[in-house]
Amino acid sequence: MVRAVGAVRERIDAAARRSGRAGTDVRVLAATKYLDGPASAALVVAGVEDVAENRLDGLAAKRASGVVPDGVRWHFIGRLQSRQAAAVAAEVDAIHTLCTASAAARLAAGAARPQLFVQVNVDGDPAKDGIEPEGVERFLAALPDELRVEGLMAMPAFATDPEASRPAFARLRGLRDTLAANVAGRHPLASLSMGTSQDFEVAVAEGATHVRLGRILYADGEGRD
């Protein structure tokens, strides 16, 4: 596991250098939905600083167990249900899947203020959550005043060829750049959450600041996260 984390970090650093960036600009989010508390803790010991969970119950259980070392940053990357939004916000440092007005209202009414990413459906896939690219600016403008959005998140269609994801990553980056100029002063939009085990190097080349990695960190192969 230590070798896996170090090897992934080296690949991120190399991809960043090739695109004229610093690898330290990219945060590795360990997607641990298939791991128990001790295995998640082992990733942290191996050098992972950010842990990502898909479900509130799994996230809360791992936090309550006390097994995962202090100091880790917790991220929520699953579907954000409105009725759970405030509870999720109280448990995490960042939410990557905001895409409904009802969830935004619950977040604004709560006390916790994690970093927020708006999920974008870059491929227009009706089976996926996320806001259509052309609707993101309206969504940002309508958010309650209490909320600030740190960046955008996307999950392109699965493909075995990493290069097949590049157009979607480029679209998300272009959308972010356009929106950042239009909403300057209210929403930072400094970050891009994109890239998983099979395509993270391409995502880094296209500007990812957060990559969500699963099995590549703790098993052989390039499995889907």
Domains of the chain: 2-218 (3.20.20.10)
**Burial bucket for residue 19 (CB in 10 Å: 0-12, 13-18, 19+):** exposed
CA distance 119 to 99: 6
CA distance 138 to 35: 38
pLDDT of residue 126: 84
Per-residue model confidence as pLDDT tens digits over 114-173: 999 999 999 988 888 999 999 999 999 999 999 999 999 999 988 899 999 999 999 999
pLDDT of residue 225: 64
Packing angle between helix 56-65 and helix 37-45, nearest 10 degrees? 70
Q: How many CB atoms lie within 10 A of CB 182?
A: 12
Mean pLDDT of 190-203: 96
Mean pLDDT of 102-117: 98
Question: DSSP alpha helices (H): ranges in the chain?
Answer: 2-18, 37-45, 56-65, 85-91, 101-109, 136-142, 166-182, 200-205, 215-218
Mean pLDDT of 84-101: 98
pLDDT of residue 218: 78
CA distance 189 to 98: 14
Is the model's pLDDT at 23 over the cut of 50?
yes
Record the pTM: 0.94
- 110: tokens are 């709560």
Q: How confident is the model at residue 223 (pLDDT cuts 50, 70, 90)?
A: very low
Q: How many CB atoms lie within 10 A of CB 212?
A: 26
Is the model's pLDDT at 222 over the cut of 50?
no
Strand, coil or helix: 89: helix
Is the model's pLDDT at 99 over the cut of 60?
yes
Q: How confident is the model at residue 24 (pLDDT cuts 50, 70, 90)?
A: confident
